[in-house]
Amino acid sequence: MTSATPLPTLWGDRRIVLGITGGIAAYKLCTVASALAKDQAQVRALLTQTAQQFITPLSFSTLCRHRAYTDADLWADHSPRPLHIELGEWAEVMVIAPLTAQTLAKLALGLADNLLTNTVLASHCPILLAPAMNTDMWEQPIVQHHWQTLLAQPRYHGMAPGSGILACDRQGAGRMVEPATILAHLQSLLHSGGQQDWQHQRVLVTAGGTQEYWDPVRFLGNPATGRMGVALAQAAAHRGAKVTLIQGTGLENEELEAAIAGTSIVCHRVTQAAQMQQQLEALFPQQDWLVMAAAVADLRPTAYSAVKVAKADLATTLPLEPVPDLVATLAQRKQPHQRLIGFAAQSGDIVTPALGKLQRKGLDAIVANPIDQPNSGFGSGWNQAVILDRAGRQRAISPCTKLALAHQILDFCRDLAP
């Protein structure tokens, strides 16, 4: 793990089919197509007839660096095999967005009357669904029945729409998730192959930093953003876990909400270590896993002033006291089925201190990551690490996105000895 280590392409040569249907949110798929193709993915866009009322095939041909397909191509001569068969077998993953009530019903009933639905039935890859429609349409019992019917099938993965002001000026549910949310879930599906291997697991993740105030405007803190912890929460949720996230300081609410959009992640926001401790003590007993990715303060001021201390009255020394070791305390209370995963952000030798922390705190595994290397540590979208467990296993992870690292951490932890 050196600065000379090249960053991998995120989507290089992966085979992705984008199915665009007839909704105003179709324009968001342009951003998805562009991001994928720029990073060397092979992207094929299929537009339904109604999709072309909102956006043109030429737009996707340009962005995908490959011709876009329409229903006219279903009936064209594609010897030796039909186009929908070729595309269905070629795709590693499919995205259908904005998923309309019409296409949702067709998929739930197994109908195939256009190129997109024929390709779905001719494929076996995971399919990612992003609905978008008017609130009243989305909340219709029959629409919800079709939605639940699809989600009950292992190959279908859904990102439920959020709430907001819709194109029809209605305020309510039905707003399609943003491109970044689609891309994150796509990354997860390509890693897992769509397997829900963390299904039925209850996972509690902490993320971000803490701020320990000595008056209303001054505090001790750290630069942790929470992106690594949020990535772990995303990865676990994408693989079927029931996830609860305790987010400390770092990410703004808007970025955090975008990161967990379309998932069932339950999020609690805290600022101080004492607040995180309170949440952990309430939530940990019901969990199977605790992933302690938060950068919790080690020290805090011994006293707090309810009013701002004047500059002239500031002392040259600040009395401090230790913050309770949250994860070590929980390790003493854990049940036999529970697993605790810690983090160690280090400079220089990252393995030796992490091993000591693993044993001292009673953890089942620990993730050591460098804060003095490029493309890793606080604030970066990338990271690298060495993962260690009590049985002596070690796995070094080269620089990758934090979501990719999160999946590799889950792969490692899934095989922890009881």
Residue numbers of the domain that contains 256:
202-414
Which of 133, 164, 192 delimits the end of a domain?
192
Strand partners, 205: 245, 291
266 annotated as ligand-binding:
no
Which residues are 19's β-sheet partners?
A: 46, 96
pLDDT number for residue 169: 77
- Note whether residue 3 is domain-resident: no
Give me 181's structure tokens.
């949310």
Domain shared by 178 and 281, yes or no: no
Last residue of a domain, one of 157, 192, 227: 192
Say what the pTM is. Answer: 0.94
SS3 301: strand
Residue 80 half-sphere exposure toward CB, CA atoms < 13 A: 0
Asked if residue 277 lies in contact with residue 189, where contact means CB atoms within 8 angstroms, the answer is: no
- The residue whose two tokens read 């249907």 is 21
Residues 128 and 216 in one domain: no
CA-nearest of 103, 36, 90, 101 to 65 is 36
Query: Which stretches does DSSP call E strand in 251-381?
Result: 266-269, 289-292, 299-301, 320-322, 339-346, 365-370
Cα separation of 75 and 80, whole Å?
Answer: 13
Residues 174 and 248 in one domain: no
Q: How many domains does the chain have?
A: 2
pLDDT of 7? 75
Does residue 149 share a domain with residue 40?
Answer: yes
Which pLDDT belongs to residue 2?
45
DSSP 209: B
| pLDDT value of residue 418 | 63
pLDDT in tens, 188-213: 999 999 999 999 999 999 999 999 99
**Exposure of 41 by Cβ count < 10 A (0-12 exposed, 13-18 middle, 19+ buried)?**
buried
Residue 5 placed within a domain: no
Sign of CA dihedral 5, 7, 12, 16: positive
190-197 contacts at long range (C-beta below 8 A, 24 or more positions apart): 190/14, 190/92, 190/93, 191/404, 191/407, 192/238, 192/239, 192/407, 193/126, 194/93, 194/125, 194/126, 194/154, 194/155, 194/157, 195/239, 196/154, 196/239, 196/240, 197/239, 197/240, 197/414
pLDDT at res. 5: 57
Judge whether 168 counts as a catalytic residue.
yes
Q: Across the 418 residues of the chain, what is the mean pLDDT of every consecutive 10-residue run? A: 63 95 96 96 98 97 97 86 95 98 98 97 98 95 98 96 80 90 97 95 97 95 95 97 97 91 96 98 98 96 94 89 95 95 94 96 96 86 94 94 96 85
Would you say 327 is a known binding-site residue? yes
In this structure, is residue 397 part of a structural domain?
yes
Q: Which of 30, 125, 168, 400 is catalytic?
A: 168
Do 109 and 216 reside in the same domain of the chain?
no
10 assigned to some structural domain: no
If asked whether residues 135 and 232 sit together in one domain, one would say: no
In a domain, 311, yes or no: yes
Say whether both 130 and 206 belong to one domain.
Answer: no
d(CA 56, CA 39): 23
Residue 64 falls within a domain, yes or no? yes
Tell me, yes or no, whether 76 lies in a domain.
yes
pLDDT number for residue 417? 65
Contacts by residues 313-318 (CB-CB < 8 Å, ≥ 24 positions apart):
318/214
The alpha carbons of the chain give a radius of gyration, in whole angstroms, of 24
Tell me whether residue 324 is annotated as binding.
yes
* Residue 96 lies inside a defined structural domain of this protein: yes
Residues written for the chain: 418
User: Residue 349 belongs to a domain with what CATH number?
Assistant: 3.40.50.10300
Q: Does 308 carry a binding-site annotation?
A: yes
Residues 115 and 152 in one domain: yes
Does residue 278 sit in the same domain as residue 159?
Answer: no
Query: Among all chains, which residue has been given the structure tokens 């859904």?
Result: 158
Under 8 Å CB-to-CB from 282, ≥6 apart: which residues? none
Written as six digits, the tokens of 38 are: 């720029």
Question: Do 66 and 139 share a domain, yes or no?
Answer: yes
Tokens linked to 185: 């879930």
Residue 357 among known ligand-binding residues: yes
The answer on 151 and 253 residing in a single domain is no
Residues 104 and 211 reside in one and the same domain: no
Quickly list DSSP for 54-100: TS-HHHHHHHHTS--B-GGGGSS--TTS-HHHHHHHH-SEEEEEEE-
Last residue of a domain, one of 173, 192, 211: 192
Dihedral over Cα of 410, 411, 414, 418: its sign: negative
Is 298 annotated to bind ligand?
yes
**CATH code assigned at 52:** 3.40.50.1950
